[in-house]
Structure 1
Amino acid sequence: MSSSAFLTPKQIAKRLKSMAKGKEHLYCQFCQRQFRDNTTGFDTHKKSHEHLENVREFLKDPQSYIQQWSAQFEKMWNDIVTFRYRNKEVRVTVVYDEFTSMEEHVRLHATKWKELMGFVRDWAKRNKDKVTITNKAGSYFIKWDESNEEAAARRFGGESKKRKRTDLERHMSDIRRQVKAAKREEEEQQEEKIESTPENPAPTKEKASFGKISIESKPVGSKETLDAAPAVPASIFQLDASQHSPESTTSTTTSLSTTLAPPKPHFLPGIIVRVMNKKLDTGSYHKKKGTVLKIVTGKGRPLLQLEMQPSGDVIQVPEKQVETVIPNLNREVLCLKGEHRGHAGILVELQKKEFNGVIRLKESGKEVCVPYDDFSKKS
């Protein structure tokens, strides 16, 4: 393998070994470390200062350590069975393999149980209402039977009861709010009935007098007010005849025709351009030069009739598929845009940073700066 490779075969093998499941008798429970071999790794570790210190601490009170590791072992076993294999029949060895594949776990030889089935039987006795053990052809299977409500209560403890209480309180508060709203609505209806009794007559028409003039107030929208409203002149609803005169129609048609007119051609006859269409005649004219003979204008975009060099073929190409040709210095060019459109001149200088060319016009002798796209080589 080349030296530029990411990993050598030896490094790959080492990584695969480190990812593999370690052997149980090469695991140090005191230091919680896994070793792959017995000669260099585990034996050397047993003589290290760190390991010896942990062993001394263990010998001071071994029963407390064993009880602690046993409780951790049972708790982790419970978590795997209840979360992964709840209401499922599973082989004991499958659960234990998954248990030992975890990075941080407690090995069986560090607990008070000497063998796996001893732990399983002891664990089943403590959970005899939910755990069943069956023997099928020499293999032991376990099953944890538990409903969803029991699992939620076990996982959340008293939290589920707390949630029920909060839901009940929320429901009662909604009921109180609805009762208050109903009482408020009933009070409003009673007030409306009191206002509509004969003791409180409805408001009558009032007259306001301003000197000799008296104005009687009437409800808005009544027939009398509508009849008394001033008449609107019919001339408002009549359109001005000048808007429909022939002159106005001709002006609108001319404006539409100008807006819908085809675009003006950018190029001029008598210049040399380069074809940039890759698909034209299977790409045989790509980046080939041609002389513009004629510009064909119609409803669409202008077409350039080109005489290709050096074959002499005559083709038609849209303007968008060609580009200008910039000649060498002191060659004749033709301006294509601006006030100098159609004027010939000599290319004096190229400003490459600004993509401009300095052209000396033949008629006036004036030097003008023109962008690359606005002039081309003259044929």
Structure 2
Amino acid sequence: MGRAEVGTPKYIANQMKAKGLQRLRWYCQVCEKQCRDENGFRCHTQSESHVRQMLIVGENPQKKIKEFSDQFRRDFVSLLKSSHGEKKINVNKFYQEYISDRNHVHMNSTRWVSLTEFAKFLSESGVCKIEADPDREGSLMIAYVDNSPEAMKRRDAARKRDKDESEDFEYEQKLLQQQVKKAKKQSADSDESKSSGEEPKELQREGAAPIKLALNFAKKPIAKPIARPKPIKLR
């Protein structure tokens, strides 16, 4: 039975069925062909084209595995850089994003046995950094490390800014503590001066004798008026 012609209903139906993520075990990396079920994959492995490709790979299998490994690493890191940058993401979640492309290189055709082993390889190479996922036990978080000169300048500027802000905060805290100590010392000196000072005394008199006031109402002599000089007449 031949393939359906482009534009026919059967061709469109086959394309719709092929959309989305398929089973990894039914994908032939050598032929770059995705099968929809086990029967289709078995038929493909018995086809003449597949046998011919496997004979070519069998001549130097290590070379082919290295090519697949290098391509997988490049595509994985490139997608991580372009889609998430230096933000952290769960490595399993990101791998689902990576394999959503049907034309990608599968991990089962590379030299890495598991995704965890591949993530550790990227961390040891300095390409990415990994850490334990606090939300998922036994899972890892991965983040791309940008080592370009521009990124290094941005990180240096950010570290310098954080250092300046930290120094300013420490200086403000030190100044505030000095002001608090000064205010406490002034308050203590004021309390000490009040406690050591003499309290105002009330007016007290000895004995019970009444108080006498001496008032002098003597008449003062009336001052004589000053005589005015007589006017001099001129002839």
The TM-score with structure 2 as length reference comes to: 0.55
Aligned length: 145
Q: CA RMSD in A?
A: 2.7
User: Partner amino acid for 2:25?
Assistant: H
Identify unmatched segments of 5+ residues in structure 2.
Answer: 1-6, 154-235
User: Matched residues in 2 for 1:79 and 1:29: separation?
Assistant: 20
Are 1:132 and 2:130 counterparts? yes
User: C-alpha displacement at 1:152, in angstroms?
Assistant: 10
Q: Secondary structure at the match of 2:133?
A: strand
Aligned to 2:30: 30
The TM-score with structure 1 as length reference comes to: 0.35
Aligned to 1:117: 116
Choose between structure 1 and 2 for higher RCO, CA contacts under 8 A separated by at least 6 residues.
2
> How do residues 351-370 of structure 1 correspond to structure 2 at under 5 angstroms?
none
Q: Secondary structure at the match of 1:131?
A: strand
Aligned to 2:87: 88
Aligned to 1:64: 63
User: Matched residues in 2 for 1:73 and 1:150: separation?
Assistant: 26
User: Matched residues in 2 for 1:12 and 1:114: separation?
Assistant: 36
User: Matched residues in 1 for 2:30 and 2:77: separation?
Assistant: 23
User: Matched residues in 2 for 1:12 and 1:58: separation?
Assistant: 33
Q: Which has the higher strand share?
A: 1
Identify unmatched segments of 5+ residues in structure 1.
Answer: 1-5, 154-379
User: C-alpha displacement at 1:11, in angstroms?
Assistant: 8.2
Q: Which has the higher helix share?
A: 2
Q: Secondary structure at the match of 1:142?
A: strand
> How do residues 66-215 of structure 1 correspond to structure 2 at under 5 angstroms?
66-127=65-126, 130-136=128-134, 137-138=136-137, 139-146=139-146, 149-150=149-150
Q: Secondary structure at the match of 1:20?
A: coil
User: Partner amino acid for 1:134?
Assistant: A
User: C-alpha displacement at 1:146, in angstroms?
Assistant: 3.1
User: Partner amino acid for 2:53?
Assistant: N
- Is the contact made by 1:80 and 1:95 (CA closer than 8 Å) also made in structure 2? no
Cα deviations by residue, 1:143-193 (Å, 9 ceiling, x for unpaired): 22437744599xxxxxxxxxxxxxxxxxxxxxxxxxxxxxxxxxxxxxxxx
- Is the contact made by 1:133 and 1:143 (CA closer than 8 Å) also made in structure 2? no
- Is the contact made by 1:135 and 1:141 (CA closer than 8 Å) also made in structure 2? yes
User: C-alpha displacement at 1:14, in angstroms?
Assistant: 4.6
Q: Secondary structure at the match of 1:78?
A: helix
User: Matched residues in 2 for 1:145 and 1:61: separation?
Assistant: 34
Q: Secondary structure at the match of 1:141?
A: strand
User: Matched residues in 2 for 1:152 and 1:108: separation?
Assistant: 32
Percentage of identical aligned residues: 26
Aligned to 1:16: 16
